[in-house]
Chain A
């Protein structure tokens, strides 16, 4: 029990993934600044932002709408992200082997933050938040099926093992899955899914700050907004880590392997940042057809290729 609590709260759960995620968020902002020939924020900027929101700012409850649901939604988001972080990082860091079928549990836990944002935005009673919430809902409906197809492709490549630990072990024993045609296609599709899950620029129509002024988060201030920031930091770490486990051979945590593990995560975040900095925001209609038609087609192609062993 104590061990499980330690896993959940300190390592590799809340504290560890939040700190690493905050540093990755600084990396993302710094790269963005360098792409635009600016200097960018200092290293500890995400921590300043988080503690300012948590400790200094006042929390305002919306007059119309439901305050209880409004306040509980960010808490659910943090819980979902942290539980997913524990289930992903325990097999990945080789601490415990997880259980049969934990891929399915991780898939559902990773959707909880997005659903919490939708619930929180609809509970705030703000019309712009309602627009943002409905967009987020459409986005979830479009990218989740694609993400499920990616996971299905990985399961077929791993000769139908359903747990993260066996997938990593199979890659260690032979080759990483990305060294094949279907692996490369699955990686491309997964990168776009992660982009949409994180709400980064081509798919940020739910929070669109110039258009509907932060949409889903418009009414959040103070500590609840700090929890939303915390969820975003954790997601920015665990989604690349999940992709590393699925396609990029996982981590080998000894000697030079630690450096490789860090480089894999940084490389994926760099890719996400560059996509975010070189693309304009799509309309929700375009995003839905992008995922439901093109990305699904690519993923199905990859599954067929994987089935025939390419």
Chain B
């Protein structure tokens, strides 16, 4: 298990799912890949297809229409997959928590491994969250 989980932690490929987001979190996520923060130092890449992903980043408030898409995307991902909820909307619902079309925070829909709160979280906070996730004892115990 040691070698496998070491390789997994060293090469996390990220797929980005934006719910009904106000785009602030999306911009901060993209910031992490820019020269100033450069997540590729840790082997983190943004991939285009969910079949290649190891981490599913979810941001924005999840409404009734997004819910089925999110479940579908989660089921299409090859396991083990880590789910990270980014921003106040993803973690708790934020100001949309009592909205008409709100379908619940991300962890009511799919299991979540890490929460990065903030509206929007700073790139430093996103990096800190990912590093904590990588260093946590067994990042894919849920699938065992």
Contact = CB atoms under 8 A, between A and B. Distances in A.
A195 to B, nearest CB: 21
Contact of A48 (B7, B48, B49): B7
6 contacts: A41-B40, A51-B4, A57-B78, A58-B79, A59-B78, A221-B52
A29 B7 contact: no
Given A214-B48, A214-B49, A49 B35 contact: no
A217 B3 CA distance: 26
A220 B51 contact: yes
Contacts of A219: 49, 51
Contacts of A283: none
Interface of A: 29, 33, 36-42, 44-45, 47-49, 51-52, 55-60, 209-210, 213-214, 217-222, 225
A210 B48 contact: yes
Q: How large is the interface on B (under 10, 10 to 19, 20 to 34, 35 or more residues)?
A: 20 to 34
A218 B51 contact: yes
Contacts of A36: 35
Interface in B25-43: 35, 38, 40-41, 43
A225 B35 contact: no
A220 B13 CA distance: 14
A43 to B, nearest CB: 11
B123 interface: no
B49 A218 contact: yes
Nearest to A208: B48
Given A48-B10, A52-B54, 19 more contacts: A33-B38, A37-B35, A38-B38, A39-B40, A40-B41, A41-B43, A42-B10, A45-B11, A47-B7, A48-B7, A49-B43, A51-B7, A52-B4, A55-B3, A57-B79, A58-B78, A210-B48, A218-B48, A222-B78
